[in-house]
Structure 1
Amino acid sequence: MGADREGARRHRPARAAAYVACGAVLLAGCASMPDNGDLRGVESTPRQDSQVRVFAMPPAEDAVPSEIVQGFLEALTSDDPNYRTARQYLTADMAKTWRPELSTTVLTDGPGAQADSPRIREDADEVSFTLTGDKVATVDAQQSYAPATGPYSSTVHLRRNAKTKQWRIDALPQGVVMGRTDFQRNYLSVNKYFFATDTTQAGTSARPTAVADPVYVRKHVDPVTHVVRSLLKGPTRRLDPVVRSGFPTGTALAKGVGALTPDERSRLTVPLNDRAAAAGRNRCAEMAAQLLFTLRNLTPAVEEVELRAGGEELCALTEARADRVASRGSTQHPDYLYFLDPEHRFVRIPAGSSATQPDPVPGALGTGERSLRSVAVSRDERTAAGVGLDGKALYVGSMVSGGSLEKPLLTSAGQTEEDRLTAPSWDARGDLWVADRDPGKPRLLLLEDGAGEPLEVRTPGLGGRVQAVRVAADGVRVALVVAEEGRSSLVVGLIERRREADGRSTVTVVEPRSATPEFEQVTAMSWAGDSRLVVVGREHGGVEQMRYVQVDGSTPDVPTPAALTGAKEVTASGDDRLPLVAYSVDGIVRLPSGTQWQKVTEGTAPVYPG
């Protein structure tokens, strides 16, 4: 997720691409550039040092059609602001109407190009090329990433200018297209932040809860300004139903504002239009907090934000004070890591410590009176939930010494352990989630405040049975492992809550989307940040692996966890200073940063709060 720093190095398309590629700086292999016929793919720039910037060169004099197409495609992968060089490959009319910001199509490899005519006649004045490839993802006009599959095909038409005799592109699809490697080099994933509409962190004051909305921006083309403009435009369509912005509707950068750059004290001044002028101090603090949360991983660093409108300061906020304005899951530091010992008793060790000897958890569930199969601890670490060893019953109890274990709040009628209750999960409101896998009545259930009659959560558009459930710290997203037709996949949906006229609550999981479309089986998963999860699973015909994924289905730019044999369960904290913890064939193991897995002790079912 961190921003790459800028550097400088030139990158030449068309004929110039051959000079640089064969000169061994930027291009991995030379794309052939015939006068006619087949034009090979332009997936030509492997991952590079983060300091490297790539710039295109304009079309050469008397360039043939294949060179024009090649040069244009290469220019799409450059760091040229507003694609000024790419537009030089277009006719004047096409340059005015082409809108590259509308979409980005990502292919497995760079687009291949084939002339529609086997051979271009010397006296021809027009020709078409078909661009082809296999889709990996798309990024829409809101900069929102979505996995995609299937073949890609589009047509590029060229015409020779009657006066200059130069070939130029006069028809092409809107947006841009490039290979996955060039996308990874050119684009950066950034979390924009908004506030949950009706979620307050359990055990805290009425601070709003910040929700991450990941978008992709061009890495080396003034990302600070582009991210600020994107934030002011509001959340992406998918997240919009469950979040709000502190910025008044219509807020934008003041007219004439150019690039935004923090000063030598890492203070960023953001001039806004008059729509922001009426915001009071509290709302202005929310606006500034949104900016600081959003810009925290970009370079150069921003440690303070000053908002201005009409030539006057509205407010200023430092990074240190931003977490007092709103809560974020990634700032929560749990006190303990919890798990079950070999006798299926509920125990814990201090989070992040090197301790290996656990202590019993205080409260009724920690007495050992009930053998447990799985556990969950509320985010304030005051209440625990546990599922009995046979998977039938769900128990909830206070983590205070001296209490007795009450009757189960929920019982499954499933015939086998695998057809009964999943491990439970607590959300930010203090509500408890669990799925009943009974084939005769599969249900996703919620117990408000961890008590009372279970509420069945509506799951329209979600096929199969829920095999695992984990609610994000932001309280508006839920991750589900769903099994259907021999496959199990990780699905992330939005939590939509309503209060009906008769006072009843309804909860619905909407917009469910796969976060691991390439996985055939998902074994375990956990939230590992504001918009990131860690997943154990395997692709078709592959071996089991552990990796990080974003909620939008993209792969974050972070190191992959070290390999772990036989991982059955995994847990992570939003605080990335705490290690991953897993249950594997070796028992409870943890992964300190930059090292290999280390055994902690014997046991099962490790969990951080949540």
Structure 2
Amino acid sequence: MRRSKTLISVLSVAVLAAGCSTLPRDTDPQVLRSFEASQPIESVAGPEPGQDPDILLRGFFTAGARPTQQYQSARAYLTDEASSTWDPSTEIRILDRIDLNTVSGSTSDTRTIAIRGTQVGTLGSGGVYTPGNTEYVAQIEMRRVGGEWRIDELPQGVVMERNELRNHYSPYNLYFFDPTGQVLVGDRRWIYNGVPAVDSVLMALLAGGPSSRISPGVVNQLEVGATFVGADDGVYRFTGLSNLGDDQKLRFAAQVVWTLANADVTGPYVIEADGQPLVADFPSLTLDDVADYNPQALSTSVSTLFALQNGSISRLSSGSVSSLNGWLTGGNIESAAISTSANVVAAVRRGAPATLMVGQLEGTGTDVLTAESITRPTFEYQAGALWAVLDGQTLVRVARSTTTGELVRNEVEIALPEGMTGNISEFQLSHTGVRAAMIIDGRVFIGVVSRPGPGERRVTNVTELAPTLAESALSVAWRPDGSLLVGTSKPEQPVWRVELDGSATTALPSGNLSAPVVAVASSSTTMYATDAHALLQLPTSDNTIWREVPGLLGTRAAPIVAY
């Protein structure tokens, strides 16, 4: 039965200004371990009798991936004294692998073992993963207790190998709105697979607000004191929402529904706030009610492939190539971004100096600004503004003035990590416009776009996302699922997939690819890469070998995927 009302129809007449004026709240997300009281009792997988110290120690690290019952499984490997002083909640260090070496001076009853490895990240409060690339060195003291080896002294916190993180934890997205109230933005969290109710954990984290990393770019609609109190017979109950306006309640309902739906929690969804239905007109909600806010809509959207070849842009369809008319076929285009939904193109015309232009696909282009060099342009959500980096250093945003109708250029500050310098060769906004990926001297970084004031932008919380790629990155593109596609100069593995939070950097098949890969792009079904010889494609459903693009056989062109 078709509903007489939809949530989006109600939202469309709400006063969006109220949501835009709500400032992001930068608070610590709720710690996952607060849910341990409701977890079922697990059997303690402790050490086996007669285990050698090194084998026992590896068992301890494996047990550290099970946080239930205050890490009871891991504590079984400790002496009573060590268990009473060990605090596993301080930090979870993720290592690529753990190497063990016995330190000289050991006896038959005591042993010192050195731990070494590359720390590739940490798992913090609320399941937030932070990438890293530092060497980890520590020592663990062991002694015999009743004839059995036990750990007697150890560093605070948990150390686990990356494989254990993947084996025992799963990533989920919480969703928060961008400042316009139009787009849901994912906030990735890792949750232990052993929790009995993932939906309750997600709702508690959602009520706790966005992580500190993403909070400058999104809106937290809940005030301090808002709490998820539990789920009962499919009803999700919150308190502390009485001060929310109707439009804020509607948007929070969309957050709840899409967070649950993308965690494979089926609807319909019943949400209560302070004992009453969150949205009076919708005692229960379905995905259809919030379809316009689907954060994965791009994964099912139809895209158009364009190719930049010899300074001109062509459209590809069903293996045939058709040239565009007008300003995009003059043989002097260096790079471009295209939005077919908005019928707008931003292109860089090569020359001394280079020129950034804006125009329609089949119309004419208008010169916007010039510089010695200009990076490939990138659009905000729905092509509301375009961004580019001038001369490797100056980030600019170009938008149309609401008062004069003219294109206005504003410089945007990038708050780089302390001591970080270098030239920006690539800068690309995510499809939501809230995140930005950039390549600085061959290294991949990601930042968050904040709005300090009306019309102002700032890129903050800039973090290196894939340190293992070192200084080899040449090109970057956002995939519809929110991960990054990175082309490099690495001869053996030239194209990589990088997860949004930096938790994994995975080499894609290299068959038929020849480094360097100077351009990449991705649609929901296909990835594209321009290597040393041609433009190639790889279906996302069949990651085996890259093949040439029909219609461009033997052609070295740059791909442009437009929505």
Q: Tell me if both proteins adopt one fold, taking TM over 0.5 as the criterion.
A: yes
SS in 2 for 1:317: coil
SS in 2 for 1:410: strand
Q: Is the 8 A contact 2:299 2:480 kept in 1?
A: no
TM superposition shift of 1:56:
5.1
Aligned to 2:536: 589
Distance 2:509 2:193 in 1: 21
Distance 2:120 2:364 in 1: 54
Q: Is the 8 A contact 1:589 1:600 kept in 2?
A: no
Distance 1:447 1:533 in 2: 24
Matches within 5 A, 1:493-532: 493-499=447-453, 505-519=455-469, 520-532=471-483
Distance 2:219 2:104 in 1: 49
Distance 2:480 2:88 in 1: 31
1:168-212 alpha-carbon deviations (Å, 9 max, x no partner): 656533321112222222222222221122xx4xxxxxx421112
Distance 1:478 1:252 in 2: 31
In structure 2, give the amino acid aligned to 1:605: A
2:369 is the alignment partner of 1:410: yes
Distance 1:178 1:360 in 2: 54
TM superposition shift of 1:134:
2.9
In structure 2, do the counterparts of structure 1 residues 334 and 83 end up closer, same or farther at CA, with 3 Å as the change threshold? same
In structure 2, do the counterparts of structure 1 residues 309 and 96 end up closer, same or farther at CA, with 3 Å as the change threshold? farther
Aligned to 2:292: 324
1:395 to 354, 357, 363: 357
TM superposition shift of 1:244:
1.8
In structure 2, do the counterparts of structure 1 residues 514 and 538 end up closer, same or farther at CA, with 3 Å as the change threshold? farther
Aligned to 1:210: 184
2:527 is the alignment partner of 1:580: yes
User: Where does structure 2 lack aligned partners over 5 or more consecutive residues?
Assistant: 1-41
Matches within 5 A, 1:447-486: 447-449=398-400, 452-461=407-416, 462-483=420-441
SS in 2 for 1:226: helix
In structure 1, give the amino acid aligned to 2:208: K
User: Where does structure 1 lack aligned partners over 5 or more consecutive residues?
Assistant: 1-53, 201-206, 415-419
SS in 2 for 1:374: strand
Aligned to 1:20: none
Aligned to 1:39: none
In structure 2, do the counterparts of structure 1 residues 538 and 225 end up closer, same or farther at CA, with 3 Å as the change threshold? farther
Greater relative contact order (CA < 8 Å, ≥ 6 in sequence): 2
TM-score, scaled to structure 2: 0.77
SS in 1 for 2:170: strand
TM superposition shift of 1:221:
3.4
Distance 2:512 2:175 in 1: 32
SS in 1 for 2:438: strand
Q: Is the 8 A contact 1:365 1:386 kept in 2?
A: no
Of all paired residues, the percent bearing the same amino acid is: 22
In structure 2, give the amino acid aligned to 1:498: P
Distance 2:313 2:300 in 1: 22
1:303-346 alpha-carbon deviations (Å, 9 max, x no partner): 4332224554434322233233466663572542222355x333
In structure 1, give the amino acid aligned to 2:357: Y
Distance 1:225 1:459 in 2: 37
Distance 2:495 2:177 in 1: 31
1:490-514 alpha-carbon deviations (Å, 9 max, x no partner): 11112233337xxxx5433222222
Q: For the aligned residues, what is the CA RMSD? A: 3.6
2:215 is the alignment partner of 1:240: yes
Larger CA deviation: 70-79 vs 136-145? 70-79
In structure 2, do the counterparts of structure 1 residues 564 and 249 end up closer, same or farther at CA, with 3 Å as the change threshold? farther
In structure 2, do the counterparts of structure 1 residues 284 and 99 end up closer, same or farther at CA, with 3 Å as the change threshold? farther
2:108 is the alignment partner of 1:144: no
SS in 1 for 2:107: coil
Aligned to 2:237: 271
In structure 2, do the counterparts of structure 1 residues 91 and 458 end up closer, same or farther at CA, with 3 Å as the change threshold? same
Aligned to 2:550: 600
> How many residue pairs end up in the alignment?
500
In structure 2, give the amino acid aligned to 1:307: I
Aligned to 1:432: 386
Aligned to 1:337: 305
Distance 1:587 1:63 in 2: 57
TM superposition shift of 1:233:
1.7
Q: Is the 8 A contact 1:55 1:75 kept in 2?
A: no
SS in 1 for 2:284: strand
2:321 is the alignment partner of 1:358: yes
In structure 2, do the counterparts of structure 1 residues 135 and 398 end up closer, same or farther at CA, with 3 Å as the change threshold? same
2:343 is the alignment partner of 1:382: yes
